[in-house]
């Protein structure tokens, strides 16, 4: 049988022709405005839409944003200074806020506390005096404070009534208000995670970037290093590194020391992500083009490659923050981390170190509540970001 | 298989060497050494210090030599079972450590078993009931365990045990067994004391494990062969147990590598709060006192424990999955 080609022989005239008129694709394939919006949206917009679908992540993000906003004005939001001692109110339990007094609405207030030392048990006993109503004042003058250690101010969002006290979360062994201390501690605890992640971020990008871009023996060395670091239990190493810091260092230097220590052991995950991404991306044509134009490796990595997977890195980093916050809390609790007068949630928990405290003054354990909340929130936020990081999926 | 095992053990040697170098650097980093802080302490107490004797001690322990030489001496000693000398206790490190190493291993081992026992059923449930209330609830409880600092949990447990049973749950055995040789009564006492620490330490690792089992099993469940099995009318239980679960078993065993360091970390802190007879409380003392050989041996031991744990999990994986055996032999 003779094979017939489906193609026409060269030079044969066909029944149809090519129109000279300019062709507009849009005239044939109509796309709705909604579709156009999606097609033309930049990457960050797509990511935002994807992220928005993860409801819990959005709420956690809002919660964290508010929390981070409060650390700018924590002195204003707290009724007392973190070091103010109320010697007449040592180990006072949390006071309850009421709205109605004898059936009448008076606004938020607390009943005044009467303090008595029980001479038999030597226990401090606080009783409520329901005849004395201490109305909470708002936008009032209270303890003088230096806002961020700079501007002297004395306005607080709310303060106790004149002559009265207001301990929403009780007081500690020096009569310091726990609520104010937790607010102040947030400033340290929340920033330490961010700074630590920044350290590990830089290390991860630089080291992972070198391994991924150069490959070969650099990659071998880096990979072994990552393996070794990942197989090490982190807390004993943190302890060892924290023990190195001389006792003579000022609290502020210790603070930065701790962030560096937390970051030093944490970069491995990020470096791995950077490395594997670079391995796939460096084969792309645009990298070859940049290389031919004479761009140096540092330029190619930082300008062309890293922005391509930045969103992934941010998601990975978000998931690393909780470990750092927990790490700081644990180090401070064991006495190897931050030291008073610097106040972090971990430092506050030092007070709750023995079982008597748990039994007699359980409110001293309250700083753990923000720790748990923040860690949960970061976990959910990180999940949401990770899902959104690749919107084209 | 033998070739794979041999290859895997050879790879471990440079890893351990690197770890030892890292540990040695860390314990060498603080300015001064134990003798200097010791002399300073004695002088502060107004005592006369025989500097000659101190010098002699320094020479005896090799402190006059350069760090590199001391490092090799240290590593060489460890290979012979000589872990150095604890200055604070004035005893060889091996005598100070005593049972603690075994107890640390015991705690870590039991915790892993506990984590598995808890995470496995929950992970399967979450994967098969994806997006149900049970899935959300269990995931949340797991996360809560992850988010609560171990030490605080330990304190609360300590208090509750005191309140409800009137006993102290600190330590790993009843006081009368402290320096006793191992006996049935002692083993029983240890077992009883093990429960609480294991639960506390386990909480941190369980959440991650549940998450990973869930994700892994979900991937398997979406594959064609599961759909085929369901389509031909295989009972859902069997369609889950027979293949997808086996596939995710692989990962389940290899996951030990990622949870073991976390478990050892958690165990250290919990041990300090509950004053368990493991390495934790001694390690922190040694670090604070610059008792470098003791601290170094502990760090080395903890790192070695997790490296060997990963090694064992790799072997188990190779037994289970022929692909890994072959691949291992080929890379050689």
Band the pLDDT of B166: cuts 50, 70, 90: low
Higher pLDDT, B154 or B327: B154
Give the number of beta-carbon pairs within 8 Å between A and B.
121
Whether residues A358 and B158 touch (CB distance < 8 A) is answered with: yes
Higher pLDDT, B211 or B121: B121
- CA A2 to each of CA A5, A7, A9: distance values in angstroms, whole numbers, following the listed order: 10, 15, 16
Query: What pTM, to 2 d.p., does this model score?
Result: 0.81
Start-to-end CA distance of chain A, whole Å, equals 50
Q: What is the CA angle A302-A305-A308, rounded to 5?
A: 115
**CA pair distance A290, B228, nearest whole angstrom:** 49
Tens digits of per-residue pLDDT, A265-299? 888 888 888 888 888 787 888 888 988 988 888 88
For the ranges A220-234, B77-91, B128-142, B272-286, the lowest mean pLDDT is seen at B77-91
A137-147/A151-159 β-pairing: antiparallel
Alpha carbon of A278: minimum distance to chain B alpha carbons (Å): 23
**A324 touching B (Cβ < 8 Å):** no
Tens digits of per-residue pLDDT, A56-66? 889 999 999 99
Whether residues A231 and B257 touch (CB distance < 8 A) is answered with: yes
- Give CA B136 to chain center in angstroms: 29
Residue A305 DSSP class? I
Alpha-helical regions (H) of B129-235: 133-147, 150-165, 184-221, 224-231
Taking alpha carbons only, the member of B260, B296, B287 closest to residue A233 is B260
**CA pair distance A129, A132, nearest whole angstrom:** 6
Tens digits of per-residue pLDDT, A183-241? 888 988 899 888 999 999 899 988 988 888 787 888 888 888 888 888 778 888 888 88
Alpha carbon of B238: minimum distance to chain A alpha carbons (Å): 32
Closest partner residue to B306 among A224, A232, A241, by Cβ? A232
Predicted pLDDT at B332: 36
Task: Quickly tell me which residue has 């944003």 as its tokens.
Answer: A65
Contact in structure between B71 and B326 (CB atoms under 8 Å): no
- Take residue B218 and report the two structure tokens written for it: 């979900």
Q: What is the mean pLDDT of residues B297-311?
A: 84
Predicted confidence (pLDDT) at residue B205 exceeds the cutoff of 60: yes
- Residue A119: phi, psi to the nearest 5? -70, -20
Task: Kindly give, in sequence order, each residue whose CB lies less than 8 Å from that of residue B43, ignoring residues fewer than 6 positions away.
Answer: B49
Residue A304 DSSP class? I
Task: Quickly tell me which residue has 């941010």 as its tokens.
Answer: A314
Alpha-helical regions (H) of chain B: 2-28, 34-44, 51-60, 67-79, 93-97, 100-128, 133-147, 150-165, 184-221, 224-231, 236-241, 244-254, 256-274, 279-288, 292-320, 322-331
Task: Kindly give, in sequence order, each residue whose CB lies less than 8 Å from that of residue B83, ignoring residues fewer than 6 positions away.
Answer: B77, B92, B93, B94, B97, B293, B297
Higher pLDDT, A370 or A51: A370
Q: How many CB atoms lie within 10 A of CB B3?
A: 11
Taking contacts as CB-CB distances below 8 angstroms, the residues of chain B near A230 are 258, 261
Band the pLDDT of A1: cuts 50, 70, 90: low
**CA pair distance B117, A324, nearest whole angstrom:** 28
Residue B132 DSSP class? S
Contact in structure between A265 and A237 (CB atoms under 8 Å): yes
For A326, which residue in chain B has the nearest alpha carbon? B149
Peptide bond into A341 cis (omega under 30): yes
Q: What is the CA angle A175-A176-A181, rounded to 5?
A: 160
Contact in structure between A94 and A179 (CB atoms under 8 Å): no
**CA pair distance B40, A310, nearest whole angstrom:** 52
**CA pair distance A171, A361, nearest whole angstrom:** 9
Q: What is the mean pLDDT of residues B104-126?
A: 88
Tens digits of per-residue pLDDT, B17-34? 888 888 888 877 776 666
**CA pair distance A379, B205, nearest whole angstrom:** 15
Predicted confidence (pLDDT) at residue B200 exceeds the cutoff of 70: yes
Closest partner residue to A240 among B26, B162, B265, by Cβ? B26
Interface of A with B in 233-292 (CB under 8 A): 233-237, 239-241, 243-244, 246
Tens digits of per-residue pLDDT, A181-191? 998 889 888 99
**CA pair distance B76, A239, nearest whole angstrom:** 26
**CA pair distance A177, A82, nearest whole angstrom:** 7
- CA B289 to each of CA A342, B37, B232: distance values in angstroms, whole numbers, following the listed order: 24, 8, 68
Q: How many CB atoms lie within 10 A of CB A318?
A: 22
A137-147/B85-86 β-pairing: unpaired
Taking alpha carbons only, the member of A208, A203, A224, A197 closest to residue A274 is A208
């Amino acid at each position: 049988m003779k094979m017939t080609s489906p193609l026409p022989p060269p030079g044969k005239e066909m029944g149809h022709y090519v129109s000279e008129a300019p062709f507009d694709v849009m005239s044939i394939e109509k796309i709705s405005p909604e579709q156009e919006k999606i097609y033309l949206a930049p990457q960050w917009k797509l990511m935002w839409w994807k992220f928005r679908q993860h409801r819990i992540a959005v709420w956690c993000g809002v919660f964290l944003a508010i929390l981070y906003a409060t650390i700018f004005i924590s002195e204003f939001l707290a009724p007392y200074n973190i070091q103010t001692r109320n010697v007449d109110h040592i180990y006072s339990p949390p006071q309850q806020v009421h709205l109605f007094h004898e059936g009448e609405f008076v606004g938020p207030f607390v009943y005044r506390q009467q303090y008595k030392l029980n001479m038999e048990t030597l226990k401090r006993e606080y009783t409520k005096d329901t005849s004395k109503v201490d109305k909470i004042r708002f936008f009032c003058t209270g303890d003088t404070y230096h806002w961020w250690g700079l501007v002297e101010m004395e306005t607080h969002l709310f303060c106790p009534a004149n002559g009265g006290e207001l301990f929403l979360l009780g007081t500690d062994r020096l009569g310091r208000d726990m609520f104010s201390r937790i607010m102040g501690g947030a400033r340290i605890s929340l920033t330490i995670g961010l700074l630590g992640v920044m350290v590990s971020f830089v290390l991860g990008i630089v080291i992972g970037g070198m391994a991924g871009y150069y490959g070969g023996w650099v990659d071998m060395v880096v990979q072994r290093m990552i393996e070794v670091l990942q197989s090490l239990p982190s807390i004993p190493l943190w302890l060892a590194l924290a023990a190195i810091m001389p006792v003579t260092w000022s609290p502020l230097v210790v603070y930065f020391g701790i962030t560096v220590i937390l970051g030093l052991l944490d970069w491995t995950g990020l470096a791995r992500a950077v490395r594997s991404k670079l391995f796939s991306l460096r084969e792309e044509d645009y990298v070859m083009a940049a290389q031919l134009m004479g761009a140096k490796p540092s330029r190619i990595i930082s300008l062309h490659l890293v922005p391509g997977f930045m969103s992934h890195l941010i998601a990975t980093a978000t998931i690393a923050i909780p470990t750092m916050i927990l790490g700081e809390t644990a180090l401070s609790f064991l006495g190897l981390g931050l030291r008073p007068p610097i106040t972090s949630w971990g430092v506050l928990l030092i007070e709750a170190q023995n079982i008597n405290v748990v039994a007699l003054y359980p409110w001293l354990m309250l700083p753990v509540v923000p720790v748990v909340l923040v860690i949960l929130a970061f976990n959910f936020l990180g999940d949401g970001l990770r899902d959104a990081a690749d919107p084209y999926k | 298989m033998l070739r794979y095992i041999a290859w895997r053990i050879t790879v471990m040697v440079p890893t351990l060497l690197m770890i030892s170098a890292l540990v040695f650097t860390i314990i060498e980093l603080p300015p001064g050494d134990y003798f200097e802080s010791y002399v300073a302490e004695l002088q502060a107490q107004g005592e006369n210090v025989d500097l000659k004797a101190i010098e002699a001690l320094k020479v005896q322990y090799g402190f006059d030599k350069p760090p590199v030489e001391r490092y090799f001496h240290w590593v060489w000693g460890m290979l012979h079972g000589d872990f150095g000398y604890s200055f604070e206790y004035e005893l060889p490190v091996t005598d100070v450590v005593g049972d603690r190493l075994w107890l640390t291993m015991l705690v870590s081992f039991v915790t892993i078993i506990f984590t598995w026992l808890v995470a496995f059923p929950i992970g399967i449930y979450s994967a098969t009931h994806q997006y149900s209330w049970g899935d959300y609830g269990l995931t949340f409880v797991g996360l809560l365990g992850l988010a609560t600092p171990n030490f605080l949990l330990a304190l609360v447990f300590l208090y509750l045990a005191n309140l409800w049973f009137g006993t102290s749950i600190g330590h790993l055995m009843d006081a009368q067994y402290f320096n006793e040789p191992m006996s049935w009564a002692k083993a029983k006492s240890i077992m009883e004391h093990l429960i609480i620490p294991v639960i506390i330490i386990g909480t941190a690792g369980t959440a991650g494990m549940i998450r990973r089992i869930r994700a892994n099993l979900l991937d398997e469940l979406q594959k064609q062969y599961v759909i085929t099995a369901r389509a031909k009318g295989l009972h859902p239980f069997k369609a889950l147990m027979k293949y997808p679960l086996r596939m995710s078993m692989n990962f389940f065993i290899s996951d030990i590598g990622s949870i073991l360091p976390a478990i050892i970390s958690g165990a250290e802190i919990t041990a300090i709060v509950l004053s368990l007879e493991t390495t934790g409380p001694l390690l922190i003392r040694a670090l604070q006192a610059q008792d470098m050989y003791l601290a170094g041996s502990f760090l080395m031991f903890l790192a070695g424990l997790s490296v060997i744990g990963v090694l064992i999990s790799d072997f188990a994986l190779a037994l289970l999955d022929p692909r890994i055996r072959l691949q291992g032999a080929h890379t050689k």
